[in-house]
Amino acid sequence: MLAYGDQHKKQGPMNQALLHRSLHAAADLTYSRSRGPGGQNVNKVNTKVSLRILLKDLEGLSAREMDRLRETLASRITREDGLVITAEGERSQKTNQERAFSRLETLITAAARLPQYRKPTTPSKQKREQRLQAKRIHGTKKSARRLVPEDF
């Protein structure tokens, strides 16, 4: 089995354009009455947008990124293995639809992003000596504050 860093290096970046196309192609949109602003419009126009997408329909993510996505968004994934996003803040159905798509895309890209591999390093000899010197100075400051028994 490869070490974490080796897997990360062989991992290709997420295909953002393919992901964007698959989101728009596979999304299931439903509209309902919103409870947001709109005056009388609220009671008669379906402006709330519910966007549902199954994770198996997503393209542009590698297997490792998909695993990371499932792990990160575990509490938001439905039993049917999908994600649901709702948008109802605007008066326009089209604006709410655009907001839902952009929120879903940012959610997926942020959750699927693999953590950056940290290359372990060691401090140089000079830095180690500086740290120890700072500790010695701090220690002498502290010991100088102690009460000496002759002072009573």
The enclosing domain of 41 has a CATH number of: 3.30.160.20
Q: Is residue 130 part of a domain?
A: no
pTM above 0.85, yes or no: no
Q: Is residue 138 part of a domain?
A: no
Structure tokens at 16: 């953002």
CB 58 within 8 A of CB 27: no
**Can you say whether the dihedral through the CA atoms of 35, 41, 45, 50 is positive or negative?**
negative
**DSSP-derived secondary structure letter, 29:** E
Domain region containing 76: 4-112
Could you give the 3-state DSSP secondary structure of residue 32? strand
Q: What per-residue string of b and e applies to 60-73 under the rule 16 or more CB within 10 Å gives b?
A: bbbeebeebbeebb
Q: Is residue 35 part of a domain?
A: yes
Task: From 28, 29, 48, 30, select the one nearest 38 (Cα to Cα).
Answer: 48
Q: What does the pLDDT profile of the chain (152 residues) look like in tens digits?
A: 344 444 444 445 778 888 888 888 988 998 888 776 666 776 778 888 999 999 988 888 888 889 998 999 899 999 999 999 999 888 888 999 999 999 999 998 888 888 888 899 999 999 999 999 999 999 999 999 887 777 55
Structure tokens at 87: 């948008």
Q: What per-residue string of b and e applies to 30-51 under the rule 16 or more CB within 10 Å gives b?
A: eeeebeeebeeebeeeebbbbb
Residue entry with tokens 């993510």: 61
Residue entry with tokens 């504050």: 145
Q: Is residue 146 part of a domain?
A: no
Q: Is residue 33 part of a domain?
A: yes
Dihedral pair phi/psi, residue 82, rounded to 5° = -135, 170
Q: Is residue 151 part of a domain?
A: no
**DSSP-derived secondary structure letter, 82:** E
**Can you say whether the dihedral through the CA atoms of 10, 16, 17, 18 is positive or negative?**
positive
Question: How many domains is the chain built from?
Answer: 1
Q: Is residue 143 part of a domain?
A: no
Q: Is residue 125 part of a domain?
A: no
